[in-house]
């Protein structure tokens, strides 16, 4: 019986240790993604109970303490009507989270339906779906929203609805492309050979395999929708002026930069950081879900 080469044994041990470290690294996301999840958790809490957790009533006006700098019970100071800036930032998380979430989920559902249908059925179904998608895709989305919202009087619900409809073509194109890549796979042919219906093949077999693309794109849609809705509020056709909203706060604070810069800085930072965090989480989720699929 021959002795084991110490060098080989050491290489095996180091390889096992490296594999263990690699698995641990895959298990824990990078620090930037962890911080993004923390921000997302804070945003969710603020969206649910922001006005209740705020140090002051976000709608309370106190003209005697208008444009007060940070301090004296107001961490970020007050705006031109004496309202606490921090409290309004916390309360504004509701419109900043709910609207983009509805847009992202709605666009993903619409895109999943038409993308799977076009990619799997092909032929005339694919041609009909994609011609409509191309037509909507060719329109300048945000400009269309501004024009329609301006004609109809604006409003948060209208903005959310329009952005959801105009975001769906992007999801449809991506999901169709992913479905076309999955369509000739052996597992699809096996499912069809077993006599499974087309609907079952699409929903139970193809859709889970294109889910990483859907999830990643949904986070991107959330980020774009957040900026889009904030832009509508910034130009005055989004939320009602009395509603705490980051875009509206940024619009109101642009002329107060020399009196209390935080009236503009705070909502602008929240918009940028939230959009960046959604992008980071989306990229990490795509890689994590794709790696899990490869390991299987």
Q: Could you give the C-alpha distances from 128 to 20, 99, 131, 214, in angstroms and in order?
A: 50, 30, 5, 22
Place of tokens 């969206």: 47
pLDDT digits (tens, 9 = 90+) for 167-226: 999 999 999 999 999 988 999 989 888 888 888 999 888 999 999 999 999 999 999 999
- Cα separation of 271 and 227, whole Å? 7
Q: Could you give the C-alpha distances from 260 to 78, 84, 178, 229, in angstroms and in order?
A: 8, 12, 49, 24
Can you give the residue range of the structural domain that contains 138? 42-295
Residues 6+ away with beta carbon under 8 Å from 241: 248
Q: Which helix (H) or strand (E) holds 111?
A: helix 85-121
How many folded domains does the chain comprise? 1
- Cα separation of 91 and 241, whole Å? 14
**229-238: average pLDDT:** 90
Asked if 210 and 178 touch (Cβ cutoff 8 Å), the reply is: yes
Residue 9: pLDDT band with limits 50, 70, 90 = very low
What 8-state DSSP symbol labels residue 64?
A: G
Q: In the prediction, which pLDDT does 71 show?
A: 83
Q: What share of the chain is helix, strand, coil (3-state, %, to 5)?
A: 75, 0, 20
Domain assignment present for 204? yes
Beta-strand ranges (E) seen in the chain are none
Beta bridge partners of 84: 78
Domain assignment present for 233? yes
Q: In the prediction, which pLDDT does 292 show?
A: 59
- Cα separation of 40 and 97, whole Å? 9
Domain assignment present for 25? no
Domain assignment present for 56? yes
Domain assignment present for 177? yes
Domain assignment present for 34? no
pLDDT digits (tens, 9 = 90+) for 18-71: 444 444 445 678 899 999 999 999 999 999 998 889 999 998 888 888 888 898
Number of H helices, E strands in the chain: 11, 0
Give the three-state DSSP class for 138.
coil
Asked if 263 and 251 touch (Cβ cutoff 8 Å), the reply is: no
- Cα separation of 21 and 221, whole Å? 34
What token pair was written down for 136? 């909507």
- The mean of the pLDDT values for the chain is 86
Domain assignment present for 192? yes
Give the CATH number for residue 189: 1.10.3720.10
**140-165: average pLDDT:** 88
Domain assignment present for 141? yes
Torsion angles phi and psi, residue 78, rounded to 5: -130, 165
Q: Which helix (H) or strand (E) holds 66?
A: none
Residue of higher predicted confidence among 12 and 211: 211
């Amino acid at each position: 019986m021959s002795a084991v080469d110490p060098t080989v044994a050491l290489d095996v041990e180091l390889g096992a240790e490296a594999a263990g470290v690699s698995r641990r690294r895959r298990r824990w996301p990078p620090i930037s993604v962890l911080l993004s999840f923390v921000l997302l958790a804070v945003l969710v809490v603020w969206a649910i109970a922001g006005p209740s957790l705020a140090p002051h009533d976000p709608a309370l006006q106190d003209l005697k303490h208008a444009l007060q700098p940070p301090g004296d019970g107001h961490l970020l100071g007050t705006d031109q009507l004496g309202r606490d800036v921090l409290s309004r930032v916390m309360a504004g998380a509701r419109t900043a989270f709910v609207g983009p979430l509805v847009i992202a989920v709605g666009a993903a559902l619409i895109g999943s339906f038409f993308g799977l249908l076009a990619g799997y059925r092909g032929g005339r179904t694919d041609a009909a779906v994609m011609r409509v998608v191309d037509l909507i895709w060719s329109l300048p989305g945000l400009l269309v929203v501004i024009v329609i919202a301006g004609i109809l009087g604006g409003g948060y619900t209208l903005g959310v609805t329009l952005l959801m409809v105009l975001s769906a073509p992007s999801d449809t194109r991506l999901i169709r492309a992913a479905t076309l890549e999955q369509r000739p796979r052996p597992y699809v042919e096996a499912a069809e050979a077993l006599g499974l219906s087309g609907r079952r093949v699409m929903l139970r077999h193809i859709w889970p395999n294109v889910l990483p693309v859907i999830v990643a794109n949904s986070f991107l849609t959330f980020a774009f929708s957040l900026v889009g809705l904030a832009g509508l509020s910034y130009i005055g056709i989004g939320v009602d002026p009395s509603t705490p909203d980051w875009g509206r706060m940024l619009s109101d604070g642009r002329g107060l930069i020399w009196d209390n810069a935080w009236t503009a800085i705070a909502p602008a930072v929240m918009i940028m950081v939230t959009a960046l965090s959604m992008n980071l989480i989306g990229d990490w989720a795509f890689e994590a879900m794709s790696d899990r699929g490869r390991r299987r």
